[in-house]
Chains A and B, each alone.
Chain A
Amino acid sequence: MVSDQIKETEQLEDIREIVEKIGSTRADLIPVLQEITNKFGYISQLAIKELSDLMSLPTKEILSVATFYRMLSTQPRGEHIIQFCESAPCHVVGGREVFSALQDALGLEPGQTSADNKWTLLTTSCLGVCGIGPVILVDTDMYGNVTSDQVKNILSRYD
């Protein structure tokens, strides 16, 4: 309880800093939310409430933006976020098999987070590097021309 409160206070301080750094106009909302996602992994209700005060925006508007963009999240996510490209160019060069392998290795459906909080599996639309599909993005590391047997190896780099 006490430690929760301390965490909350710290989180609020960080949020204030972020807004101070980036700005508090409507146009700053997306960068601010991005920064909060980066920092805390997700945008909590506490964060939305605080931003609503700091930026004089209704909470519903912040929630709309926070849930609209895939790069933002209002749900806690795992330590590592795996994004798998499900668009056609990647799909036709073997994406389907790679994705099955990925799902088997993790035991996760798209959108789920592993019980140990290590992984979150997401699907995404084209990442803009179709030339090297199938493509997996783990956090900020991009893997191209992935085959099914490489999947385990890629994951093991994050142990």
Chain B
Amino acid sequence: MDLARVLINFFRVESCGKCTPCRIGTKRAHDLLEGISRGKGTLEDLDSLQALSQELLELSNCGLGQTAGTPIKDMLAYFRAEVEAHIRLGICPVGVCPMHD
């Protein structure tokens, strides 16, 4: 979960800002992950993240934006339980997320 956040941050910072999905989508995704890592996530956020990862892949102009969704998609595919723990239980199972502001 933390790793996905860091990876998304990379794309957010490196986005050139030209096309809509990459410029705004990476920022949105990062905000959502940031929120989850601070204990503020909701389950709808996960749906939004799922959708965003798909949009980034399909709609972006270049490879950067197109790849940016992959960490989220993988996170949701392989670590969903860990992520949901942040939301449902308010804990970070691996103890790296601050879980507060």
Contacts and interface: CB of A to CB of B under 8 A. Distances in A.
A60 to B, nearest CB: 15
A91 B6 contact: yes
Contacts of A92: 3, 6
Range of interface residues on A (Cβ < 8 Å): 10 to 19
**Among the interface residues A68, A87, A123, which one has the most CB atoms of the partner chain B within 10 A?**
A87
Contacts of B19: none
B14 A96 contact: no
Contacts of A88: 3, 6-7, 10
A87 B10 contact: yes
Contacts of B16: 68
B14 A125 contact: yes
B96 interface: yes
B81 interface: no
A67 to B, nearest CB: 11
Contacts of B7: 88
B59 interface: no
Contacts of A68: 16
Nearest to B4: A88
Contacts of A87: 6, 10
A90 to B, nearest CB: 9
Interface of A: 68, 86-88, 91-92, 96, 123, 125-126
Given A88-B6, A125-B10, A125-B14, 19 more contacts: A68-B16, A86-B6, A86-B9, A86-B10, A86-B13, A87-B6, A87-B10, A88-B3, A88-B7, A88-B10, A91-B2, A91-B3, A91-B6, A92-B3, A92-B6, A96-B96, A123-B13, A125-B13, A126-B10
